[in-house]
Amino acid sequence: MFEVNFDGIIGPTHNYGGLSEGNIASISNSQNPANPKKAALQGLKKMKILRDAGLIQGVFLPHERPYLAKMREMGFTGSDKQIINKVASHSPHLLHNLYSASSMWSANAATVSPSVDTADQKIHITPANLNAMFHRSIESDFTYHQCLQIFKNESFKIHKPVPPISGYGDEGAANHLRVASNHEQKGFEIFIFGTSAFKAYNSSIMRQAKEISHTVALKHQLNTEHYFLLQQNQDAIQRGSFHNDIVSLSNENIFIAHEKAFEDRNALNQIIRVLENNVSNFQFIEIKENEIPLTDIIKSYLLNSQLVSTTDGEMLMILPADVRNFDNCMQWIDKLKQISPVKKFEFVDIKQSMMNGGGPACLRLKVLMNNKELEGVNKNFILDDNKVEQIKHLIQSFYRDRILPDDLKDPDLLDEFQMILDQYTQIFDLENFYSFQ
């Protein structure tokens, strides 16, 4: 068993529309100029680090933006460009939602359970419905169909997104952890939720419903003794931990979390006891508030790092370059190197993603599989050196280096963006991938 990461290629409409309630970075940078070219190149460079470490790297292609089908569904009529003009005149904020490049954060694309965990020994994948935010909820159908194209044979079971309950949704792998002795062993999956879908809160930013997390676990045919439901810390959510992968992470037998990551300490302690009794060399590493305050954890995105096992048996942590600005975080990294199998550290500049609230872990969906299961993956979606160079050339040649949200009102941008998406389908040898083709 080994991990294959599927990163979302950052699309040409990357902008700072400030669409994500509860996401401090997104709101703080609202209406600032974005640099789609730099963003996409930064994402591609992070993928190369994984490939250089010996891991297989896959991709999700950008979603079709602007989302004209949704505009028509909402009653707008006319030619494509006439519709864009009408939406821009009626509601610029709606237009920004329908141009969002947020599918780049593929940790929210789906929840994945490996075959070693499931009763039918298939890899189960449930695309997230992302119902809490309109600009993300429009991703789920295309993600489902893209998953069907990537994970093609009987080794995979692709579920449809779970319907929302009472307005609450499902945020995918960003609220999901797995702990096991190693990738080959049956693991324990932890589903993190914000609230019950049937309990009213004053806040509207608790995105994950307990009942939907439970539904995903049932659909994935997980043993009831091998999965847990654990509530996010409500204060952490209010202070900017809109997904749990900002305050916790795991890889194989390592589970790292901030002291204020979870609401119920007793529930967490019960889970830790089960893991201590069943996972070889299990290590729970807790960051205390007096060691690194929650505010700094959230600002630095320290725990939104990507923790992976490399081919030489050591663990590599890929961290946002911004972490270097926090002395307490750097001191903790030195400590982590001494007390854990995490011995390698890479800092990546993904500032364009970070300004919208996405660190290294946000940019990828982790899928554990064996060689037989890998044979069932559509190789068109797996990066090689040739594809990397073609993508880089496309980005450097045609992506803009400056976009403001209001720039998206220009209907003539449609031709430019559709041309870029069409070029991607040629690089990846895909036919009729987008509706305009």
Task: Just list the catalytic residues.
Answer: 171, 243, 362
What pLDDT is attached to residue 311?
83
C-alpha 298/C-alpha 307 separation (Å) is 17
- Residue spans of the chain under pLDDT 50: none
What pLDDT is attached to residue 200?
66
Cβ proximity of 410 and 404 under 8 Å: no
Look up tokens 């790292």; give the residue: 256
No. of H helices and E strands in the chain? Answer: 16, 15
What pLDDT is attached to residue 201?
64
Neighbouring residues of 81: CB distance < 8 A, sequence distance ≥ 6: 411, 412, 414
C-alpha 282/C-alpha 72 separation (Å) is 52
What pLDDT is attached to residue 63?
98
What pLDDT is attached to residue 204?
55
Residue 189: strand pairing partners: 178, 227
Question: Per CATH, the architecture of 2-65+100-427 is what?
Answer: 5-stranded Propeller (3.75)
C-alpha 4/C-alpha 57 separation (Å) is 6
What pLDDT is attached to residue 202?
61
| Pairing verdict, β 227-231 and 188-193 | parallel
Express each pLDDT in 55-88 by its tens digit: 999 999 999 999 999 999 999 999 999 999 999 9
